[in-house]
Amino acid sequence: MADSKKITSAIISVYHKDGLAPIVKKLDELGVVLYSTGGTEKYINDLGIPVIPVENITEYPSILGGRVKTLHPKVFGGILNRQENESDVAEMEQFNIPQLDLVIVDLYPFDKTVASGADEQEIIEQIDIGGISLIRAAAKNFKDTLCISSMEDYEEVLKIISEGNGSTTLEQRKNFAAKSFNVSSHYDTAIFNYFNSDHDIVSLKISETRGKLLRYGENPHQKGFFFGDFDSMFDKLHGKELSYNNLLDVDAAVNLMNEFKDDAPTFAILKHNNACGISQRDTIYQAYADALAGDPVSAFGGVLISNTEIDESTSEEIHKLFCEVVIAPSYTAKSLEILKGKKNRILLIQKLYEFPKTTTRSCLNGALVQDRDTLTDSEENLTQATNNNPSSGELDDLLFASKICKHTKSNTIVLAKNKQLFASGTGQTSRVEALRQAIEKSRSFGFDLNGAVMASDAFFPFPDCVEIADKAGITAIIQPGGSIKDELSVHYCNENNVSMVFTGVRHFKH
């Protein structure tokens, strides 16, 4: 084949040695001359395989504590020379530069060092200079050079050189070049984001090397992908592959339940990113039953999530419902046996996980980035707006409803009682309409709104909402406050014995 290249020499400089031995042995078997540095050179020597120190090419030792080893014209000339270019061939001979057909590099683990909480000096020393330069050079010259830039590719390259008797095709080399630039760009992005952690430089760089093709996007005619490390958040125990819409609902579910992670048993059912049922009880069985009672119609095909272990009795009830996904920190053995009775039902164990500090979404021809909304309304942050205080039970319900409100699409109104979601008005253009929707839905499922509470994601510019709520039986209200006409709503509440508290924090969700 015209584009086939035989590997005659290789330079190997890797951080991780796992999986390297079979490749080194195969290269030696094929008669390939090996060059290496430092720990990798010692590793190859210990395998009993001949290896030439890079210092023999450069005629310079490793200097500055190992910071400079391969950065030399004789190394990079051997990688970057164009083998069909007469001038390059002549200069290679003139300066006695050895040909390097294969470069194998595995970079210092910068990401892992940052994640470990290491001090700055240790992190800085994990910024690979020589390795990243070798990768870029070899990938650029893919017409003549094969570049292997990750230990994840060792198995594939071993197969290629074994089947090709040491030869590679242009297509193969170009494919590995693309992989190499993926590695180098990801590496540089991680370094930049470390130095720009405070976002003093207004620049957005996102890099995710783990990706998966989904069955389709939001709709069947759209192609969809997920980029991220799903396995760091969940163990998938059973069921079909998660869809684009499944993933959005799972995201909404875990963000909502994060508000209740240290609370009494809490169960939520979500549909189209909004909670259609959520309840907190003494047992997870009762929490599920009362969450389902909030809207048994919308629960069909929903995503279910628990903040505690799901037991056998709860699973027996869940099994009666068609649902797409069930999420919990753990399951009893019998519970799993029951839930696996539906072959497509997705069962996830949620691991301990620290959410990203920012959120990103596409907008126009760019992206919007903001701090994650990590504020949770609590009793100590409330301001009593009315003459009468909410009872302790009402206060618990207000904070419960406020947590749900924070994770429901705006404009929203949430109605709750005894730590059970009665209904929410979601995604309405009018707050009054959101309230009316919630009242009508509550009544349609037989809930008694007398003594219930109301949460709003934003302030009331007029007293119409508090008046409608009062006449429906609502006795306590939680809202951000901040309207120039707050007094109109406060006055109505005082006149009609409705308690109201201000949080001082708006929780829009668009």
At 343-365, the pLDDT tens digits run: 999 999 999 988 988 899 999 99
Are 342 and 319 a contacting pair, CB within 8 Å?
yes
The pairing of beta strand 225-227 with beta strand 211-213: antiparallel
Q: Which of 17, 140, 143, 342 is catalytic?
A: 140
User: What's the pLDDT band for 313 if we cut at 50, 70, 90?
Assistant: very high
Cα(16)–Cα(300) distance, rounded to whole angstroms? 48
Cα(316)–Cα(97) distance, rounded to whole angstroms? 73
Cα(301)–Cα(304) distance, rounded to whole angstroms? 9
Cα(294)–Cα(275) distance, rounded to whole angstroms? 10
Kindly tell me if the per-residue pLDDT of 379 is higher than 60.
yes
- pLDDT for position 55: 85
Kindly tell me if the per-residue pLDDT of 213 is higher than 70.
yes
- pLDDT for position 85: 87
Are 348 and 235 a contacting pair, CB within 8 Å?
yes
Kindly tell me if the per-residue pLDDT of 86 is higher than 70.
yes
Structure tokens belonging to residue 272: 């189209």
Are 224 and 241 a contacting pair, CB within 8 Å?
no
Q: CA of 5: how far to CAs of 8, 91, 146, 147, in Å?
A: 9, 21, 9, 13
Query: Over the stretch 320-346, which tens digit does the pLDDT of each residue have?
Result: 999 999 999 999 999 999 999 999 999
Cα(145)–Cα(147) distance, rounded to whole angstroms? 6
Angle (CA) 104-110-112 rounded to 5° is: 110
Q: What average pLDDT score do residues 70-76 get?
A: 83
- pLDDT for position 378: 92
- pLDDT for position 1: 53
Torsion of CA 306, 307, 308, 310, to 10 degrees: 0
Query: Over the stretch 219-276, which tens digit does the pLDDT of each residue have?
Result: 999 999 999 999 999 999 999 999 999 999 999 999 999 999 989 999 999 999 999 9
Are 139 and 105 a contacting pair, CB within 8 Å?
no
Query: Over the stretch 17-47, which tens digit does the pLDDT of each residue have?
Result: 888 999 999 999 999 999 998 889 999 999 9
User: What's the pLDDT band for 93 if we cut at 50, 70, 90?
Assistant: confident
Q: How many CB atoms lie within 10 A of CB 264?
A: 14
Cα(408)–Cα(403) distance, rounded to whole angstroms? 9
- pLDDT for position 115: 86
To the nearest whole number, what is the mean pLDDT of the chain?
Answer: 93
- pLDDT for position 59: 76
Let me know if 261 is a catalytic residue: no
- pLDDT for position 291: 98
The pTM for the full model equals 0.86
- pLDDT for position 64: 79
Q: Which of 272, 319, 340, 342 is catalytic?
A: 272
Let me know if 272 is a catalytic residue: yes
197-211, 217-231, 410-424: range with lowest mean pLDDT: 197-211
Query: Over the stretch 286-304, which tens digit does the pLDDT of each residue have?
Result: 999 999 999 999 999 999 9
- pLDDT for position 2: 58
